[in-house]
Amino acid sequence: MKRFLPLLTLGLIALGGCGLENPPEKLAEEIEEAKNPTEEAAPAATEEAAAPAEELTPELAAGKEVYDASCAMCHDSGMMNAPKPGDKAAWEPRLAQGMDTVMKNTIEGFGGMPARGGNPELTDEQLKNSVDYMVLGVQ
């Protein structure tokens, strides 16, 4: 076994150096979109900016805090088709499945989204508040 350890180490180093020189096509498109925002993204940003301007209930304010800390990184950019806050077109098909399904997907994870948005310390109530914040103005 000791004879193979150096070979294994060198092999892993060589493979690690490969990286993502040519990322998968979908990832490459998302990176390009993030670098060059289109005009279509502007209306969603306007809607998003309008949502927080409204008077927020304590639950929605708490949801905004959770969103800013745990959700915004993916949802603000629309990474991996994450619906942006207040984006009616993106949220309507999800909401058509019902809030129970939306919450189940939020808690258990769905597609590229990890369970609990990648923060296992969030409670179900905190997740519900953050989802309610994101769909503000859509329902």
Q: What is the pLDDT of residue 39?
A: 53
33-73 pLDDT, tens per residue? 777 765 554 454 444 444 445 678 999 999 999 999 999 99
Q: What is the largest CA-CA distance in the chain?
A: 67
**Would you say 95 and 135 are in contact if contact means Cβ atoms under 8 Å apart?**
yes
Band the pLDDT of 15: cuts 50, 70, 90.
low
CATH code assigned at 117? 1.10.760.10
pLDDT for the residue 137: 80
Residue 109 counted as domain residue: yes
For 86, the 3-state DSSP assignment is coil
Residue 1 lies in a domain: no
Domains identified in the chain, total number: 1
Confidence of residue 125 (pLDDT cuts 50, 70, 90): very high
- pLDDT value at 128 more than 50: yes
Give pLDDT, residue 16: 62
- Domain limits for position 49: 24-134
pLDDT of 5 reads 78
Q: Please give the pLDDT value at position 24.
A: 63
Quote the pLDDT of residue 22.
57
pTM, entire model: 0.60
User: Nearest 5°: phi and psi at 110?
Assistant: -160, 130
Q: Quick one: which of 127, 86, 79 has its CA closest to 105?
A: 127
Segment 25-40 mean pLDDT:
67
Q: Tell me: the pLDDT tens digits for 65-115? A: 999 999 999 999 988 889 999 899 999 999 999 999 999 999 999 988 999
For residue 11, tell me if it sits in a domain: no
